[in-house]
Structure 1
Amino acid sequence: MVLRIFVIAATLPAAVLAQAYDGVYYPSGMSGWSCQTIGMDGGAVAIQDGQLMGVENTCDLMNPVGVTGMEATLYDMECSAEGTTYTERVMLMRSGEGVYVIRDGFVAEWSRCE
């Protein structure tokens, strides 16, 4: 039974697992951010359809791994920004206000836009 659940979970696409975090957000504690536009300076950031969309960059969320004992998911990301591409890892975890976005050496809390 446990093996069957693992096999099913392992075959789910990253977009399906990322849906738990789907939403439009702004950086917590920051004023002057607009929830009307996504990816622009002073605009919102988003997690939608298996992508993390930041300010002037977009990353595909891939290879999700649930973090044991936490309501969090670790992803590989392929990103593009201003004509360059790069890879990195990110962990997403729900917070009381929205989601924590955890990268190597950096944690940001994004509050959900209403």
Structure 2
Amino acid sequence: MPRLFAPLALLLSTAPLMADPALDGRYELDACTGRVGESTITLSDYSIAYWESRCDLSAPMPVRGMGEAVLYDATCAGEGESWERRLMLMPVWQNGPIGRPPHDGLIIVGDNYADYYAYCGPAPR
């Protein structure tokens, strides 16, 4: 009987590793200006929407020793092209308790770059 529960326990133990819904929202590179443009991204429903592209996030892997940082496989498309990459999302929690809004922003790390995006409010619906 315990063998039947092992796969279910494994499935449930990986469920919280997806992008934290508390991180969903609109972000701007470096600081909020109130203008939607090329430096604006939206994080929602396990994807990141950039100005002219979108990346769906999958295969989350917590980064040991780095707080709430999570490494993802990203499947991206835009301007008629598609590509895959690895992205690390790391929330910045300076003004609120860790794991709860309000968070200040998000650091996104890719191959040979890291950008800070300020949290500018909920994602538009």
Shorter-chain TM range is: 0.7 to 0.9
Structure-1 separation of matches of 2:85 and 2:77:
11
Structure-2 separation of matches of 1:5 and 1:65:
17
The aligned residue for residue 80 of structure 1 is 77
Supply the AA of the counterpart residue of 1:113.
C
Supply the AA of the counterpart residue of 1:28.
D
Deviations 1:5-49 (A, max 9, x none): 654232x287xx2124211100015x7561xx4xx535x211100
- Percent identical among aligned pairs is 29
TM-score with structure 1 setting the length: 0.76
- What SS does structure 2 have at the residue aligned with 1:90? strand
Structure 1, unmatched stretches of 5+, are none
The aligned residue for residue 100 of structure 2 is none
Higher strand share: 1
The aligned residue for residue 113 of structure 1 is 120
2:26 equivalent among 2, 24, 27 = 24
* Larger RCO, structure (CA 8 Å, separation 6 or more): 2
CA contact (8 A) 2:49 2:55 kept: yes
Matches within 5 A, 1:1-114: 7-10=11-14, 12=15, 17-18=18-19, 19-29=21-31, 34=35, 37=36, 40-41=37-38, 44-70=40-66, 71-95=68-92, 96=94, 97-114=104-121
Structure 1 segments (4+ residues) deviating >3 Å: 3-7
TM-score with structure 2 setting the length: 0.70
Task: Provide the alpha-carbon RMSD of the alignment.
Answer: 2.4
CA contact (8 A) 2:106 2:118 kept: yes
